[in-house]
């Protein structure tokens, strides 16, 4: 069975990654691409890697509006919405109304509490759809994703935090009366394709800098929401994101207070129990996560260490922010919703070196 896929926001980095993954997916064909600012241009003009590929590079980017939903519903079975927040809910909501499955890669349906969403993002265009959305982290919501028509793709940073930590809270391995300390380093592609002074090579290639610190980054409430569900108690996160001089990847290091005699092998066992997946590697011994070792793949590397001197547990995770942190995770969640192989169309091996 081959399903017809569409992409809204196909000219951005996340859209480009979706194109690559859909093109190699055994049960998807790319039937529609849209990009508001670049409507009328061919895919080959905007995504150079598609040039010369018949049926792909010559696809023309369309301008999609809410009134086009019924007509588009005749041409596609699923749409991946790689749009800014609010626009994604408005346009994706129209497609959902028309009977199209929607995988949303924005923040519009990640937060279950409307008041929390409004506090961080402003007014929600389709608040009545929030309860319908399923959080698209397959390892944690596999059962709920089955048959889902509206999938909320997790944020890249939250993915790198939740994968190593949720198993620990589900198993009650760590105290819940503490804030979770999160330090994350990401590549410049996370800022999107539009050029910014802070992310061009001349101003980022030789430096590293924190940004949106002290509880001001919009991914914070998403982390707190999912960790609170896992812990069964309200959790708080101290999150410090940092821009690193690389294009792709996120390396997250988390810190939790435990006891001096804590057994770190229990973390490895919990991760394998709760994250059973072909797309997760739980490292042991001297092996530690490395963004280079997941670059371009849909995999995540996880590891744990215990510092007895300070009685702190260190949980680590490396992902590709555009793949596991966005597009390949969206494909994996879609696969689960349709009872396809979870890793169908998703590269297992990283681009190395």
- pLDDT score of 17 more than 80: yes
Report how far residue 144's alpha carbon sits from residue 40's, in angstroms, rounded to the nearest whole number.
Answer: 38
Question: In sequence order, which residues have a C-beta less than 8 Å from that of residue 127 and are 6 or more positions away?
Answer: 114
Global pTM reads: 0.94
Which of the residues 35, 76, 82, 156 is marked catalytic? 156
Q: What is the three-state SS of the chain?
A: CCEEEEEECCCCHHHHHHHHHHHCCCCEEEEEEECCCCCCCEHHHHCHHHCCCCCCCCCECECCCHHHHHHHCCCCCEEEECCCCCHHHHHHHHHHHCCCEEEECCCCCCCCCHHHHHHHHCCCCCHHHHHHCEECCHHHHHHHHCCCCEEECCCHHHHHHHHHHHHHHHCCCCCCCCEEEEEEEECHHHHCCCCCCCCCHHHHCCCCEECCCCCCCCCHHHHHHHHHHHHCCCCEEEEEEEECCCCCCEEEEEEEECCCCCCCHHHHHHHHHHCCCCCEEECCCCCCCCHHHCCCCCCEEEEEEEECCCCEEEEEEEECCCHHHHHHHHHHHHHHHCCCCCCCCCCCCCCCC
The span from the CA of 300 to the CA of 321, in Å, is: 10
Tell me the pLDDT tens digit for each residue of 142-180. Answer: 999 999 999 999 999 999 999 999 999 999 999 999 999
Q: Does CATH number 3.30.360.10 belong to domain 157-321?
A: yes
Q: At residue 199, does pLDDT exceed 80?
A: no
Least confident of 22-26, 42-46, 268-272, 321-325: 42-46
Cα–Cα dist 252/246, whole Å:
15
Give the model confidence (pLDDT) of 108-131 as tens digits.
Answer: 999 999 999 999 999 999 999 999
Share of the chain above pLDDT 90, in %: 84
Position 190 scores a pLDDT of 74
| Tokens found for residue 250 | 């996120």
pLDDT > 70: percent of the chain = 97
Retrieve residue 51's tokens: 């040039």
Summarize pLDDT for 204-223 with one digit per residue, the tens.
778 888 888 888 888 999 99
**Whether residue 267 lies in the annotated active site:** no
Q: Which CATH class is domain 3-132?
A: alpha beta
Exposed e or buried b for every residue in 55-85, given b needs 16+ CB within 10 A?
ebbebebbebeeebbeebbeebbbbbbbbeb
Q: Which residues pair with 79 in a beta bridge?
A: 6, 102
The domain limits of the chain are 3-132, 157-321
Q: What is the mean pLDDT of the chain?
A: 93
Residue-level pLDDT at 167: 97
pLDDT digits (tens, 9 = 90+) for 313-335: 999 999 999 999 999 999 999 99
């Amino acid at each position: 069975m081959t399903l017809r896929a569409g992409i809204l926001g196909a000219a951005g980095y996340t859209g480009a990654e979706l194109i690559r993954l859909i093109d190699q997916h055994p049960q998807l064909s790319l039937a529609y691409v849209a990009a508001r600012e670049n409507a009328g241009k061919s895919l080959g003009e905007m995504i150079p890697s598609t040039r010369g590929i018949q049926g792909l590079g010559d696809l023309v980017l369309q301008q999609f509006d809410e009134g086009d939903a019924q007509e588009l519903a005749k041409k596609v079975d699923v749409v991946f919405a790689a749009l800014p927040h609010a626009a994604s809910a408005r346009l994706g909501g129209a497609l959902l109304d028309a009977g199209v499955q929607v995988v949303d890669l924005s923040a519009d349906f990640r937060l279950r509490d409307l008041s929390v969403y409004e506090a961080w993002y402003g007014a929600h265009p389709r608040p009545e759809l929030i309860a319908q959305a399923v959080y698209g982290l397959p390892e944690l919501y596999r059962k709920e994703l089955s048959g889902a028509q509206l999938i909320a793709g997790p944020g890249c940073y939250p993915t790198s935090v939740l994968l190593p930590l949720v198993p620990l809270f589900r198993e009650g391995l760590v105290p819940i009366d503490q804030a979770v300390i999160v330090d994350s380093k990401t590549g410049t592609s996370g800022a999107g394709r539009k050029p910014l002074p802070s992310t061009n090579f001349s101003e980022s290639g030789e430096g590293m800098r924190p940004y949106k610190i002290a509880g001001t980054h919009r991914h914070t409430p998403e982390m707190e929401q999912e960790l609170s569900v896992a812990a069964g108690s309200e959790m708080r996160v101290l999150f410090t994101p940092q821009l690193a001089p690389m294009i792709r990847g996120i390396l997250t290091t988390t810190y939790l207070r435990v006891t001096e005699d804590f057994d770190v092998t229990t973390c490895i066992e919990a991760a394998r129990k709760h994250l059973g997946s072909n797309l997760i590697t739980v490292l042991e011994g001297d092996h530690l996560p490395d963004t280079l070792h997941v670059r371009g793949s849909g995999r995540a590397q996880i590891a744990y260490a215990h510092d007895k001197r300070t009685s702190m547990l260190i949980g680590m995770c490396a992902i590709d922010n555009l793949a596991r942190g966005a597009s390949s995770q969206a494909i994996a969640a879609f696969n689960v919703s349709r009872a396809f192989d979870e890793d169908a169309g998703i590269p297992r091996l990283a681009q190395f070196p």
